[in-house]
């Protein structure tokens, strides 16, 4: 099931990978960037993603490629009503509670009640007025899959 993702262009991706930091290894969804030298780094920490023997990327979704975009909106309610199904998503969102007010990417889960939850810590998202999803990529939808 190992995928060679070296054919992908440099940029930001949501990835599903096998991390062999311990004997058993773990499967993770996370955000990563590939640079011009085809080095993969975890978004946010800058750590090399393939630093342990056996670390393997299984799937990748380009987050700066408009052809992979599932939905886009300036209105959070409108976006969730665009027939987004419950599941795991990578989103580009605006956090009105962030002092820098810069849109950012994050992995989230959309539940049956159209509520968004941070994939990493389980906290409900979009609690402040003005918070909004700008773009969404379905990570369990094979039509958006690159590898």
> Is the pLDDT at 147 greater than 50, yes or no?
no
pTM for the predicted model, two decimal places: 0.76
**75 and 99, same domain (yes or no):** yes
Contact 46, 39 (CB under 8 A): no
Contact 53, 20 (CB under 8 A): yes
Query: What domain range includes position 25?
Result: 11-62
What average pLDDT does this structure show over 17-21?
86
Contacts by 73-81, CB closer than 8 A, 24 or more apart: 73/132, 73/133, 73/134, 74/132, 74/134, 75/132, 76/126, 76/131, 76/132, 76/133, 79/132, 79/133, 79/136, 80/110, 80/114, 80/116, 80/133, 81/114
- Indicate the pLDDT class of residue 22, thresholds 50, 70 and 90: confident
**55 and 80, same domain (yes or no):** no
- Indicate the pLDDT class of residue 133, thresholds 50, 70 and 90: confident
How many structural domains compose the chain?
2
In a domain, 147, yes or no: no
Where b means 16+ CB within 10 Å and e means fewer, 22-50 reads: eeeeeeebbbbbbeeeeebebbeeeeebb
What average pLDDT does this structure show over 124-144?
78
> Is the pLDDT at 12 greater than 60, yes or no?
yes
In a domain, 4, yes or no: no
Which tens digit of pLDDT belongs to each residue from 84-129?
A: 889 999 998 888 877 777 888 999 999 998 889 999 999 998 888 8
Contact 70, 133 (CB under 8 A): no
């Amino acid at each position: 099931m190992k995928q060679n993702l070296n054919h992908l262009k440099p940029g930001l991706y949501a990835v599903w990978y096998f991390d062999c930091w311990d004997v058993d290894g773990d499967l993770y969804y996370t955000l990563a960037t590939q640079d011009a030298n085809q080095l993969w780094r975890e978004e946010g920490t800058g750590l090399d993603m393939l630093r342990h023997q056996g670390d393997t990327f299984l799937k990748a979704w380009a987050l700066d490629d408009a052809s992979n975009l599932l939905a886009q909106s300036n209105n959070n309610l409108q976006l969730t009503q665009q027939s987004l199904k419950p599941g795991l998503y990578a989103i580009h969102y605006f956090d009105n509670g962030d002092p820098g007010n810069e849109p950012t990417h994050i992995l989230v889960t959309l539940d049956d009640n159209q509520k968004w939850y941070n994939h990493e810590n389980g906290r409900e998202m979009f609690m402040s007025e003005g918070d909004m999803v700008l773009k969404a990529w379905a990570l369990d939808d094979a039509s958006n899959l690159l590898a």
